[in-house]
A and B are shown apart, each in its own frame.
Chain A
Amino acid sequence: NAGVMQNPRHLVRRRGQEARLRCSPMKGHSHVYWYRQLPEEGLKFMVYLQKENIIDESGMPKERFSAEFPKEGPSILRIQQVVRGDSAAYFCASSPSFMNTEAFFGQGTRLTVV
């Protein structure tokens, strides 16, 4: 999973601030997925994007969360007005297609809201 780059690795935000998490997929991968892992839980799907398109955001909270994958540059997961419950590990994954191919995960961004 070394090819999927996420930054920052650790992010501390005060309640009410904004958090921006970045993800650069593996070379040649045009499909990006964001997952969230809360303590003692599995990974939960949040959003699936292709270049300039949100394909499925059914796992995203309706408010304060947004994602983009612009034509140039990394995918961004943005959380506005963070609350303590947003503290989690956020993982990005990429794949060359969505048809029965494994997704490769980045090392994650651990967000702590204080």
Chain B
Amino acid sequence: DQQVKQNSPSLSVQEGRISILNCDYTNSMFDYFLWYKKYPAEGPTFLISISSIKDKNEDGRFTVFLNKSAKHLSLHIVPSQPGDSAVYFCAASISGTYKYIFGTGTRLKVLA
């Protein structure tokens, strides 16, 4: 049972444009969400997180939006840069616990 889903395995975007990566979850108990970026042969790197008390969190070029009623979150990267090309994982957890449930990832390719 995949509780966190990233339905787009890949995405290509032109440099300078916006990248939008999507993530859906099924467990309404999740209240903390994170995005990680992963380059080949490296470990995931934390990007940005959001608590369910918010609907938006911004950090530089990265913004995460949370729609609790739709059980959906998205990561916006503006402007996209070639160095952003990587696999992006969303993860969810329940406060007071410690397990992150990861999606299967979306491979972003930013074209120069």
Contact = CB atoms under 8 A, between A and B. Distances in A.
Nearest to A44: B102
A1 B98 contact: no
A99 B96 contact: yes
Interface in B93-111: 93, 95-105
A42 B102 contact: yes
Given A102-B49, A106-B43, A45 B101 contact: yes
Contacts of A108: 41-43
Given A43-B89, A100-B32, A4 B43 contact: yes
Contacts, number: 69
Interface in A85-114: 91, 93, 95, 98-100, 102-108, 110
Contact of B99 (A6, A56, A104): A56
A91 to B, nearest CB: 5
Interface string B66-86: 000000000000000000000
11 contacts: A42-B104, A44-B102, A45-B101, A56-B99, A93-B43, A98-B96, A99-B95, A100-B93, A105-B36, A105-B46, A108-B43
Nearest to A46: B99
A31 interface: yes
